[in-house]
Amino acid sequence: MRIAIPLTGTRGDVQPVVALGLELRRRGHDVLLGAPPNLVDFVTATGLTARVCGPDIQQLYSSPEGQEALAAGNTLRLMQLVARQMAGYAEQMNREVIDVCAKADLIVASTVTEDRASSVSEAMGVPLVSLHYYPCRKNGAYPFPGALPAHWNPPVPVNRATWVLAENLRRVVFMRYLNNLRATLGLPKSWSSTAAVLERANVPEVQIYDPALVPGLPAQWDGRRSFTGFLTLDQAARAAVGDLSGDHAGILSWIAEGQAPVFFGFGSMPIRDTAAVLAMVSEVSARLGVRALVSAGWSDLDVANAQAGANVKVVGAFAHDIVFPHCAAAVHHGGIGTLFESLRAGLPTLVCSVSFEQPMWGGQVERLGVGAHLRFTQLTAARLEEGVASLLTSRRKARAAEFARTLSSADAAARTADIIEATAR
């Protein structure tokens, strides 16, 4: 079976789907991934076939305008920025999605490509499966991510109202571009939201995150929205993309020299003043008397010449699952991939959220009793010290260790591939 997977976004959007693509290829399927230009080589390094699909979002985040939006911590402002980029790229994006899907027997889309993919699958008469990295459909348990403060616990009607508002806003913003695509495909115009379109077509919406992170949500949805857990790359793929090439021996040797450190890192989110953040980490670590392992993967920080305290080690990229089990706690931006790894390792976690669904995951970390949440825009030495200190209590450590036992990525790619094959049948 020929399976097309049009994607866009950052590495966090692409990497888990690469794991799925490899599982589908292992089963004998012909897989073609669409990926942003900056991630095509990442995909092809694993042996999968890839074509350019979508703009370079990472370049947008790193631009002066993107840096300002990230620094403001305003999700709406960042969404508007991305929407403007997508508007300028809309017609090309339409062509790229059509090109990726042209010869497919089945299409697999993601949260950010399901709107276009649904029209293409309709025109081609082939099945569609959508993958969701976080809750992005109406429910009464949780509000639309970022719509309300993460620490609120709204009643069911309020939660549902935020979804109605968000789905209609998305429909209005992208309607013109989607109807241009439908015209190209010879389809009539549609005024429905993507959620409504996929529901009418009975499209499976696979939740590729762990249900333990969202208590109460699985019970609100039917079998069309199965939870499979987070999709992780196998060892061969990780080696191929360089995940295992870091100085793990050096890092583990440093860790073994003293008490387990607290990890600090901010994933793929560009940070404007990296020196100030590093100085803050050094100050807080000294005050609390803890060691700090700082990942510079989130910045252009010069690892070799970074100015840090005596008990602070600045390192480049490394494999989280190799190092995290030797740490005492974790501080990061709350991207689902990093969050899964820190919680799976049993680390109490402080989420310093930047935007999009990250504040929602920060709120969940607090509700589940496995960590704390702080908006990155509110980050000060005093608040960071308070947050890190809260992670190091025996009660918080015990709860994080207990929660880790409920998480699993075993067979997540296989379960997702089973759903895709069943849909094709």
Q: Hey, what domains does the chain have and what are their CATH numbers?
A: 2-232+409-424 (3.40.50.2000), 246-404 (3.40.50.2000)
Task: Tell me the three-class secondary structure of the chain, residue by residue.
Answer: CEEEEECCCCHHHHHHHHHHHHHHHHCCCEEEEEECHHHHHHHHCCCCEEEECCCCHHHHHHCHHHHHHHHHCCHHHHHHHHHHHHHHHHHHHHHHHHHHHCCCCEEEEECCCHHHHHHHHHHHCCCEEEEECCCCCCCCCCCCCCCCCCCCCCCHHHHHHHHHHHHHHHHHHHHHHHHHHHHHCCCCCCCCCHHHHHHHCCCCEEECCCHHHCCCCHHHCCCCCCECCCCCCCHHHHHHCCCCCCCHHHHHHHHHCCCCCEEECCCCCCCCCHHHHHHHHHHHHHHHCCCEEEECCCCCCCHHHCCCCCCEEEECCCCHHHHHHHCCEEEECCCHHHHHHHHHCCCCEEEEECCCCHHHHHHHHHHCCCEEEEEHHHCCHHHHHHHHHHHCCHHHHHHHHHHHCCCCCCCHHHHHHHHHHHHHC
Using the predicted structure, report yes or no on whether residue 93 has a pLDDT greater than 70: yes
Using the predicted structure, report yes or no on whether residue 309 has a pLDDT greater than 80: no
Confidence band, pLDDT 50/70/90 cuts, at residue 320? very high
Using the predicted structure, report yes or no on whether residue 270 has a pLDDT greater than 60: no
Instruction: Tell me what pLDDT residue 87 has.
Output: 67
Instruction: Tell me what pLDDT residue 261 has.
Output: 98
pLDDT in tens, 137-148: 999 999 999 888
Using the predicted structure, report yes or no on whether residue 307 has a pLDDT greater than 70: no
pLDDT in tens, 286-299: 999 999 999 876 55
Confidence band, pLDDT 50/70/90 cuts, at residue 79? low
Instruction: Tell me what pLDDT residue 16 has.
Output: 96
Using the predicted structure, report yes or no on whether residue 90 has a pLDDT greater than 90: no
What average pLDDT is seen over the chain? Answer: 90
Instruction: Tell me what pLDDT residue 146 has.
Output: 84
Looking only at the bridges linking them, the beta strands covering 128-132 and 30-35 are: unpaired
pLDDT in tens, 14-52: 999 999 999 999 999 999 999 999 999 999 999 999 999
Instruction: Tell me what pLDDT residue 75 has.
Output: 59
**pLDDT over 70 for what percent of the chain?**
89
Average pLDDT estimate for 402-410: 90
pLDDT in tens, 65-75: 666 666 555 55
**pTM, to two decimals:** 0.92
Query: Are 55 and 269 within 8 A, CB to CB?
Result: no
More confident residue, 310 or 370: 370
Confidence band, pLDDT 50/70/90 cuts, at residue 269? low
Instruction: Tell me what pLDDT residue 5 has.
Output: 98
Average pLDDT estimate for 217-245: 94
